[in-house]
Amino acid sequence: MQNIHHPDLRSRHLRITEPSPWVRRFAPLIPPGGGNGGDKGGAVLDLAAGGGRHGRYLLGLGFSVVLVDRNIAPLADLAGEPRAEIIEADMETGAAVFAPGGPLAGRTFAGIVVVNYLHRPLVEDIVAALAPGGVLIYETFASGNERFQRPRNPDHLLKSGELLDLLRDRLQIVAYEHGLDETAEIPGVKQRVCAVNDLDASDRDDGEPGPHPVAPEQEK
């Protein structure tokens, strides 16, 4: 779940069951394989999964999904799903989830989805956990949101262009937004990015990676 410390906002987030349109838009770019998650190779990581709305959506698309949250009670019904791996972990005060000995140590993923969550020390690990060709879909609150509602703490708000700065020269940016979205499931100022780990893969004379569709076709 995201680092929402106010119970009203956390409760509101858990009541949302539909996946983010940003996730729906770019999930088709996630390759069907490419991770090294053991028997869940090619899995997608739903980090700070909350009620699992994105993990459930990705399961519906046929992916294996690793769902991580500090409170896994809302995910209990997925315990019998063979393509779902549920990990209980406090990503901010407990043992580092990506560090040696952590539950995600050494694992890579064909896709990583992070929505409404920001803990800056994890960003490096998130990028490093993308398999070659893997897709990062990230969306959370950004500067300016403090004028409208929680979260207002700058620790939980991306600065303008911050995701671009963090990913520059590491991933190919497919799409990026920062602005007020009054139609979002939790309206506010959002920053969103979709990026692919393929800067080193090119068949072009200039070495640039090939483009990806900005409106990939959804699976039927």
Q: What is the pLDDT of residues 19-63, one digit of tens each?
A: 999 999 999 999 986 455 443 347 999 999 999 999 999 999 999
Domains of the chain and any CATH numbers: 21-196 (3.40.50.150)
Residue with tokens 């070495």: 207
- Across the chain, mean pLDDT equals 85
Whole-angstrom distance, CA of residue 181 vs CA of residue 187: 6
Instruction: Give the global pTM.
Output: 0.87
Task: Considering only the C-alpha atoms of the chain, give the largest distance between any 2 of them, rounded to a whole number of Å.
Answer: 53
* pLDDT class of 215 with cuts at 50, 70, 90: confident
Q: What is the pLDDT of residue 95?
A: 65
Closest among 80, 60, 54, 153 to 68, alpha carbons compared: 54
Q: What is the pLDDT of residue 33?
A: 63
CB 117 within 8 A of CB 2: yes
Measure the CA angle with vertex 48, ends 70 and 146; round to 5°: 110
Q: What is the pLDDT of residue 193?
A: 97
Closest among 211, 190, 213, 210 to 21, alpha carbons compared: 190
Whole-angstrom distance, CA of residue 108 vs CA of residue 96: 16
